[in-house]
């Protein structure tokens, strides 16, 4: 073979390699569909006589105790509880761990009726002017049935303040729900606050939306929610809109039972609001309240995003129930209209991560491509489309959030195990298993995220990712 033939062969090989590289670049495949196969079994609600639903001893003893943040900064806590027989005491007694001085705060009490159900006496009391990074004890109930709990306030708001959030969604009250909560409690990551992405009790799955199941759920989660704040997002199972039984007020049980500090962020309704906590700015949105142009939620978010000072709270986290990027057949594209409205704003303001629920499985976005043995993880957006330009596919966008669906708490409706095929390019990892997650902020530039399936040991990470802050360290995460 002559020199010219040899040169031609080399050229052909080089051209072939370049073509393969080009094709690999242009034809990025989806990410990983987990090979883990969960045993097929029905999710079953725990019976009413389960120990996790047991009422505390004593006449009219306070029950269903839970707390949430009570202001915008983290120096207030809303304490809620229910007494079943009569109102009883409406006072919260509290003191810091290093003080013998006991303080008191008076709350308010509400009740509601839903079809043939009458609630107990629902107490809410806001404790204000707390010190940062301090352990407090608090007591609720009358003297003979007084119960004692504790919580720890967050550290002062600041850019390099480390803090760990737990993430749970679509929990319900099944045996799987109990496993999820136990795994969260025993996870060595030690979450300090739960970001709950909606669908609490699933009481609406029962005839006439049996509100007794709101009570059992409140007693079930008390073991965690009385000791650390749960930040609430509303889901479709909180709607409880049932005109067929004469119930026309949406969200009635939820709004009576689970208050949030919405007025502190100038919101006009408890379904969308924001808080600061340590180095995070958390925005809660409502998938089932109007969000079209000129609506209150739209106008609030339009004003809210520019308020975020990333030199003070670098991590911008959004909670919403219905996912915007979802490759499961269940609830497919239900979040599309909200995505079209708000995704451009999220890119402009460099939101770090969006957590959602609704789909009863796990999924994380980030574009996975395989080029020359590298596996980059690209953020994506889909904001260029304007009906006539045909630009309707997600594209790489390093200013975009990562989208994580964590609706895998364990509820009675079971797992979403029917996935679209092939796996879309924006989907990095998906798995039909129950579990929870943690988001561990290290400083202004880095955070570590991990997802934990219920079938594994408490410390096992089934999926994980290092986050580089979009404002302070807006680099391509493919280098990690």
> Which two tokens mark 58?
């004593």
Strand partners, 189: none
Each residue's pLDDT, cut to its tens digit, for the chain (480 residues) gives 444 444 444 333 333 333 333 333 333 456 788 767 666 667 899 999 999 999 999 999 999 999 999 999 999 999 999 999 999 999 999 999 999 999 999 999 999 999 999 999 999 999 999 999 999 999 999 989 999 999 999 999 999 999 999 999 999 999 999 999 999 999 999 999 999 999 999 999 999 999 999 999 999 999 999 999 999 999 999 999 999 999 999 999 999 999 999 999 999 999 999 999 999 999 999 999 999 999 999 999 999 999 999 999 999 999 999 999 999 989 999 999 999 999 999 999 999 999 999 999 999 998 543 333 334 468 999 999 888 888 888 888 999 999 999 999 999 999 998 999 999 989 999 999 999 999 999 999 999 999 999 999 999 999 999 999 999 986 665 444
pLDDT at residue 29 in the model: 54
Taking the model in full, what pTM does it have? 0.91
Is there a contact between 324 and 356 (Cβ–Cβ < 8 Å)? yes
CA dihedral for 329, 368, 317, 174, sign (positive or negative): positive
Residue 392 is predicted with a pLDDT of 84
At a CB cut-off of 8 Å and minimum separation 6, what does 47 contact?
none
- The pLDDT value given to residue 20: 32
Number of DSSP helices (H) and strands (E) in the chain, helices first? 6, 28
The reported pLDDT for the residue numbered 367 is: 53
Which helix or strand (DSSP H or E) is residue 63 part of?
A: strand 63-69
| CB atoms near residue 221 (< 10 Å) | 23
Does the CA dihedral 205-206-209-213 come out positive or negative? Answer: negative
The SS3 call for residue 347 is helix
Catalytic positions are 331
What does each C-alpha distance from 47 to 104, 105, 153, 173, 290 come to in angstroms?
37, 36, 35, 9, 36
pLDDT at 318: 98
């Amino acid at each position: 073979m002559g020199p010219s033939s040899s040169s031609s062969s080399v050229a052909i090989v080089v051209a072939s390699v370049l073509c393969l590289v080009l094709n690999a670049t242009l034809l990025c495949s989806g990410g990983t569909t987990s090979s883990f196969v969960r045993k097929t079994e029905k999710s079953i609600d725990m019976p009413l006589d389960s120990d996790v639903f047991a009422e505390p001893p004593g006449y009219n003893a306070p029950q269903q105790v839970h707390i949430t943040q009570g202001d915008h900064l983290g120096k207030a806590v809303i304490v809620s509880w229910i007494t079943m027989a009569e109102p009883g005491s409406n006072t919260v007694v509290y003191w810091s761990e290093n003080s013998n001085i006991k303080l008191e705060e008076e709350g308010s009490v509400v009740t509601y009726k839903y079809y043939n159900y009458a609630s107990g006496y629902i107490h809410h009391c806001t404790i204000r002017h707390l010190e940062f990074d301090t352990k407090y004890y608090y007591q609720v109930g009358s003297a003979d049935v007084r119960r004692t709990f504790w919580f720890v306030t967050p550290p002062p708001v600041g850019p390099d303040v480390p803090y760990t959030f737990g993430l749970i969604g679509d929990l319900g009250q099944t045996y799987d729900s109990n496993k999820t909560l136990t795994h969260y409690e025993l996870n060595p990551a030690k979450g300090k606050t739960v970001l709950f992405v909606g669908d609490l009790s699933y009481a609406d799955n029962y005839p006439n939306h049996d509100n007794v199941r709101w009570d059992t759920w409140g007693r079930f989660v008390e073991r965690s929610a009385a000791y650390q704040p749960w930040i609430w997002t509303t889901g479709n199972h909180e709607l409880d809109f049932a005109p067929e039984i004469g119930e026309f007020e949406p969200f009635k049980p939820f709004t009576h039972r689970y208050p949030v500090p919405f007025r502190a962020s100038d919101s006009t309704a408890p379904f969308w609001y924001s808080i600061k906590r340590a180095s995070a700015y958390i925005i809660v949105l409502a998938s089932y309240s109007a969000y079209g142009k000129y609506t209150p939620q739209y106008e609030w978010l339009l004003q809210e995003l520019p308020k975020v000072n990333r030199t003070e709270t670098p991590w911008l986290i959004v909670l919403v129930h219905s996912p915007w990027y979802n490759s499961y057949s269940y609830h497919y594209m239900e979040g599309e209209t909200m995505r079209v409205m708000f995704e451009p704003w999220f890119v402009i303001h460099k939101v770090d991560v969006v957590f959602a629920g609704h789909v009863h499985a796990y999924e994380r976005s980030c574009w996975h491509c395989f080029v020359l043995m590298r596996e980059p993880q690209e953020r994506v957006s889909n904001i260029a489309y304007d009906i006539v330009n045909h630009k309707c596919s997600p594209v790489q966008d390093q200013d975009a959030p990562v989208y994580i669906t964590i609706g895998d708490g364990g509820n009675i409706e079971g797992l979403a195990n029917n996935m679209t095929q092939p796996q879309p390019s924006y989907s990095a990892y998906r798995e039909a298993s129950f579990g929870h997650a943690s988001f561990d902020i290290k400083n202004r530039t880095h955070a570590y995220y991990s997802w934990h399936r219920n079938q594994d040991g408490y410390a096992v990470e089934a999926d994980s990712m290092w986050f580089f802050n979009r404002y302070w360290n807006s680099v391509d995460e493919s280098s990690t």
